[in-house]
Amino acid sequence: QKENQNMNNIDDWVAHYRTFSKEGKNASYIPALEKVNSSNLGISIIGPDGTMIKSGDWNVPFTLQSISKVISFIAACMHHGIPYVLDRVDLEPTGDPFNSIIRLEMHKPGKPFNPMINAGAITVSAILPGQTPQEKLESIYLLMEKMVGKRPSLNEEVFVSEWQTANRNRALAYYLKETGYLEIEVEEALEVYLKQCSLEVTTEDIAIIGLILAQDGYHPIRKEQVLPKEVARLAKSLMLTCGVYNASGKFAAYIGIPAKTGVSGGIMSAVPPRVRNEEFPFQEGCGIGIYGPAIDEYGSSVAGVMLLKKIADTWDLSIF
């Protein structure tokens, strides 16, 4: 792991933006997420040559939550092919919160608008290969192992906490069952979906996944194409247009990097090798993983979004 001198002020930025965590609140609808230290803030940046920058609470584990939607979508596309998956879930942003139900009924026959909102993600989890929830989950474990190099552990406490309080996700799943988009039993689909949300990672893990996406599916450290280029591009386009739900437009306008947020406070970003600022030490692109559990009204880390914006502004990282 090489140190990079140009980014020494990252530590100062983390210290600075950490103080803004109090403008947000830990997710409370999942009781186990409410009690973690809300002033945590950490970041990992990884380049294709293995250069890494890490700061703050980069190594504090947190659960993937909605970041897992990108991984399950990729796994489903790799198993079934893209057209099969897109027959069951669309590619359109909703402008609604992640757990919204309204558009499922507004537009018959009720196809979920995209796989980044809960309705679409539950639909995708249900079509993962295998018969049982455990078999379906296994395809996520395998893909994570391929990308991150290790099998993530399941945070049982977060899973049980969410399982017991998942009334809204159950409502979405029952609706999808009624319209025919949910192809397995409601409780089984929820088990897959909520378990994938409860997989534990650090900022380093999601930075590596972001890096692989930035490299169009090529794992530059393993020197292997771990997912097809078309699937990586589709995932990034969904992250950009739908990854932050009803804040995706603002996120694209003000930050301009494909990213996926989760209610535990994680942000996974893919910075492509397209930069104009020569001082940026990752000219070949990078993955950025951030964790800060105090979230805003859209379900994204308050301090984390500020830190990412600072980085994007400083080095002209917007893809636009």
Among 65, 203, 246, 269, binds ligand GLN (CB under 6 A): 65
Point out which residues pair with 288 in neighbouring strands.
45, 269
Cβ proximity to ligand GLN: between 53 and 197 the closer is 197
Q: Is 38 in the site for ligand GLN (CB under 6 A)?
A: no
**Is 245 one of the catalytic residues?**
yes
List the interface residues with ligand GLN, window 179-198 (CB under 6 A): 197
Confirm if 320 and 256 have CB atoms less than 8 A apart: yes
Work out whether 98 is an interface residue with ligand GLN (CB under 6 A): yes
User: Site size for ligand GLN, by CB under 6 A?
Assistant: 11
Q: What is the CA radius of gyration of the chain?
A: 18
Say whether 59 counts as a known binding-site residue.
no
Q: Considering 55, 66, 72, 248, which one is annotated as catalytic?
A: 66
Query: 3-state class of 293 per DSSP?
Result: coil
* Contact residues for 83 (Cβ-Cβ < 8 A; gap 6+): none
Cα–Cα distance list, 313 to 24, 110, 254, 280, 317 (Å): 22, 39, 9, 11, 7
If we measure between CA atoms, which residue out of 135, 170, 161, 146 comes closest to residue 71?
A: 146
Interface with ligand GLN, residue 258, by CB under 6 A: no
Catalytic residue selected from 141, 181, 245, 291 = 245
In the list 227, 263, 286, 317, the residue contacting ligand GLN (rule: CB under 6 A) is 263
CB atoms within 10 A of CB 185: 13
Report the nearest approach of ligand GLN to the CB of residue 118 (Å): 5
Planar angle of CA 236, 237, 238, nearest 5 degrees: 90
CB closest to ligand GLN, residue no: 66
Query: Which residue numbers are catalytic?
Result: 66, 69, 193, 245, 263
Question: Which residues make up the interface to ligand GLN (CB under 6 A)?
Answer: 65-66, 98-99, 118, 162, 169, 197, 262-263, 299
